[in-house]
Amino acid sequence: MGLDEDAYPRMTATQIARLVNHGDISAREVVDAALRRHARVDGAVRAFREIWPQRAREAADAVQRALAAGVSLPLAGVPIGLKAWDGVDSPQARRLIAAGCVPLGLTSVPGRGTPWQTWGETLHGPTTNPWRADRSPGGSSAGSAAAVASGVVPLATGTDGAGSIRIPAAWCGVVGVKPTAGAIPGDRPGGLRVSGPLARCVRDAAVYLDTVLGTTTLATAVGTPITEPIRAAWSTDLGFADVDPEVATIAHAAARQLAASAVVALSPARLTLRDPAPAWPVLRAVERGQTSANAASARGTALPDPQQRAAAEALRRDNDRRLHAFFATVDVLITPTTPTRPHGHDGPGDAMSVALTWAFNVSGHPAVSVPVGHTADGLPVGVQLVGRHGSEPLLLRLAATLERVTG
């Protein structure tokens, strides 16, 4: 059976792997369909910095040889986009390729010369949002989200230091997962930057993470029905963010759908965090081990002095205490993923796109962004689910249910 070009963009990674493993289609057929899709749409979207047709076909042929030799490949023949900053060398990329994924190329990331990171740069111009070309896809995993949303690949790698998986996932209408800090091999325990997937659906994201972690629990959790309501609480703004009313209304409606379906029991518990804006740049500079010269270049400030570091750590500890108390009474926090809809290619202006995401990079809590609807002008809106450290099975299970409830 051949692979219909119009059918390919709607196929999930798990569907593709099942067909390739069963011999219904070949990995080469899948790659050729992905390359045709790239040729058809990427001239306008510009999700990829580099595309590797010959290398991808050779990798697909290697997958077929491995299957013929009896090797088990859970993601056999699945085309994948690789975030340019990490490429094929990141631990998550290596494990995905070993599981049968076929790298199609490098996806776009922000270029130099702007302090805002919610965009992607290619030789042919900025990456566009697949829903509206005049809008940004988000970032910094810009091309990865756009490549998945435009149907070129069902999976792409991402990294998230302040919302760089979740923001583009929300703005491009795909699933994005930021795991618990330090959970992914190669990530720094307690660090701000976390590796994770951009995917067409929650199940694909779970299989991706199982593959990278060497587990099967996440895919199993996604397939397990929720029979007892999960204790959850809604927050529009975390106590400090300025949120677009339409974005908040759409996200809150999704939370109420979960409650109406008896999937969650919404608690009146209120979470008020301190805005991490003063602390995040300090913690990031310290994490990178910057010298005063390159700190000034990267952030426009001098290397943080001991007083700044102490203030940043005090804010982190204060928010940690608030989160610990909050998660003692509820299991999941539900928020909009972003405070605004996608901005234009001239930038976000005064809006803080990271306002609802970066607190959980500072605290290390896992978070999932799930698409739940569109604004009146046709732009995607995401809901963010946040849980205790290590609660990815619960979050993905709830995310899959949210995906079904909201359609």
- The residues annotated as belonging to the active site are 83, 140, 164
Q: Is 376 helix (H, G, I), strand (E, B) or coil?
A: coil
- AA identity, residue 355: A
DSSP codes joined into one string, 88-107: GGSHHHHHHHHTT-EEEEEE
Q: Are 109 and 121 in contact (CB under 8 A)?
A: yes
Q: Which helix (H) or strand (E) covers residue 370, if one does?
A: strand 367-374
Question: Rounded to 5 degrees, what are φ and ψ at 299?
Answer: -120, -5
**Tokens in use for 137?**
């896809």
Q: Are 209 and 203 in contact (CB under 8 A)?
A: no
Return d(Cα 336, Cα 372) in angstroms, integer: 10
Q: Which residue has the tokens 């790659």?
A: 31
Q: Enumerate long-range contacts of 1-4, CB under 8 Å, 24 or more apart.
A: 1/25, 2/29, 3/29, 3/30, 3/32, 3/33
**How many other CB atoms are found less than 10 A from the CB of residue 324?**
11
Q: Are 397 and 404 in contact (CB under 8 A)?
A: no
Mark residue 364 as left, alpha or beta (left: phi above 0; alpha: psi -120 to 50; beta: remaining).
Answer: left
Question: Rounded to 5 degrees, what are φ and ψ at 218?
Answer: -75, -45
Give every CB contact of residue 10 below 8 A, 6+ residues apart in sequence. 151
Q: Are 358 and 401 in contact (CB under 8 A)?
A: no
Q: Which residue has the tokens 């993601």?
A: 75
Return d(Cα 382, Cα 369) in angstroms, integer: 6
DSSP codes joined into one string, 306-320: HHHHHHHHHHHHHHH
**Tokens in use for 405?**
């409830």
